[in-house]
Amino acid sequence: MRRHRKVKIVATLGPASSSKEMIRALHQAGADVFRLNMSHGTHEDVAERHRIIREIEAESNQPIGILADLQGPKLRVGVFGGDGAFDLQEGATFRLDLDPTPGDASRVQLPHREIFAALERGSSLLVNDGKIRLHVVDCGPDFADCTVTVGGTISNRKGVNVPDVVLPLAALSEKDRRDLEFVCELGVDWLALSFVQRAADVEEARALARGRAAVLSKIEKPAAVKAFDEILAASDGIMVARGDLGVELPVQAVPPIQKQLIRKCRRAAKPVIVATQMLESMIESPVPTRAEVSDVAHAIYEGADAIMLSAESASGRYPVEAVRTMDDVAREIESDPTYIQIIEASRMVDRRTVADGIVAAAREIAEATDVKAIACFSESGTTALLVARERPRVPIIALTSIEGTARRLSLTWGVDCVVSDPVDRFKMAVLAAIHAAVGQGYAETSDRIVVTAGVPFNTPGSTNILRVAPCQERLIFEGEPE
């Protein structure tokens, strides 16, 4: 099933998209990667959705990526007396403490000693996705006295954000550790790590994963933005999680941050997903707003590897239509001549290695001639990532004998993955590449493709050879004895 677009689509599964028929429909509509949200459902639910995805993968003969999104620590206030809700007026005083007594309009429990340990006078606390804002005027190891700067209704177990301090909390809760081990044993391809504040959070998850899944860091806190370079270096991929960023930062700061993070990921040859509220209105409506379409379009123009649906596909009324809309928008944008100009103008690559030079040459040859595709052999996936970083105009075909590599690359811009037999000679690599290009409709027998590989084979990072191969060589090779 060839996709006629470069950007990938990630669809979250949930109550509205848990049956095999619906998951198959989402894949056929354009979903390249499925997200399993570990904040909801049981391990049995997750295992069943994983099983269905792998069945559909086998039926379609196309690698499908699976991303498990870990919940992360959840910071919430306690419960209130009465009917469980009180109105906080602007200018009023309000205390947060460790006392489990039900709260009222003057105080409530905040059962997180770590927050009190990190707070300072002048810190801000945001409750219920920032709808209520508190200014800390005094604090200690077990309390914070605040002034209400933005009032509203506060109720049981609403979430709390602390935007301007680095909290002494690990990104992985005990639940996350159990979930991580479960999904790694199950066989997911990507782990999305929530509540990342520093590179050490990523290293901890990587150590626990032990290579069984790639680690993707969600950038959703100001501390993560400040430490982004170190977090990017420690991560296999990035998710720009704009929901919490828009709560903890001024909303007008999010678009430039999104653009900056995408460009840094592109330069590092690591996939980046833009997520949260991309087609939010399609939870209830069969058509998106014009503003939402523009939002999706901007992420594509910026060169993001993937765009993601959350509640739209997990619990919305129109999951298939949401995926199809993203697919339609992507095709339209990528056919715009301005898109090519923007992508090429924003290509900033610091080339230092032989592999960097090989993939740059492959792109330039493909764009200067009538070459139909770039085929690369990549057991680890590194070569395919480097080719994708170049953002070539022609399709990228990644051939690998490792099924897990093909599945992970399903998140990467422009890469179509083919699981092939292992090869140990470049001639056979060329033959396999031609088979894939012609077999999947990228080229005719009379066309040519560019083939890149590393010799000796099966050595990660050894890309050192490039050839422009006529597809008619398949006939010659097939007639030769081994």
* pLDDT tens per residue across span 218-246: 999 999 999 999 999 999 999 999 988 99
Helical H runs in 148-241? Answer: 174-186, 199-209, 222-226, 228-234
Neighbours of 19 (CB within 10 A): 11
The active-site residue, picked from 35, 133, 206, 221, is 35
Multiple choice CATH, 354-478, 3.40.1380.20, 3.20.20.70, 3.40.50.300, 3.50.50.60:
3.40.1380.20
Q: Give the C-alpha separation, 5 to 8, whole Å.
A: 8
The active-site residue, picked from 133, 218, 221, 389, is 218
pTM for the model stands at 0.93
Residue at token pair 């677009």? 5
CATH of domain 85-161: 2.40.33.10
Is residue 143 within 8 Å of residue 116, measured between CB atoms? Answer: yes
Q: Give the C-alpha separation, 155 to 149, whole Å.
A: 17
Q: In this predicted structure, which of 130-144, 399-413, 468-482 has the lowest mean pLDDT?
A: 468-482
Q: In this predicted structure, which of 105-109, 110-114, 464-468, 478-482 has the lowest mean pLDDT?
A: 478-482
Average pLDDT over residues 357-386: 93
The active-site residue, picked from 76, 95, 198, 347, is 76
The SS3 assignment for 140 reads: strand
Residue 158 annotated as catalytic: no
Q: Where are the domains of the chain?
A: 8-73+170-335, 85-161, 354-478
CATH of domain 8-73+170-335: 3.20.20.60
Residue 218 annotated as catalytic: yes
476, two tokens? 């010659």
Q: Give the C-alpha separation, 292 to 400, whole Å.
A: 37
The active-site residue, picked from 12, 133, 276, 412, is 276
Which pLDDT belongs to residue 474?
61
- Domains 8-73+170-335 and 354-478 agree in fold: no
4, two tokens? 């006629």
Q: Give the C-alpha separation, 463 to 171, whole Å.
A: 36
Residue 35 annotated as catalytic: yes
Which tens digits make up the pLDDT trace of 89-119? 999 999 999 999 999 999 999 999 999 999 9
Is residue 98 within 8 Å of residue 109, measured between CB atoms? Answer: yes
HSE at residue 39, side-chain half, CA atoms within 13 A, is: 14
**CA torsion angle for 180, 185, 187, 190 (degrees, to 10)?**
20
Residue 6 annotated as catalytic: no
Q: Give the C-alpha separation, 165 to 86, whole Å.
A: 27
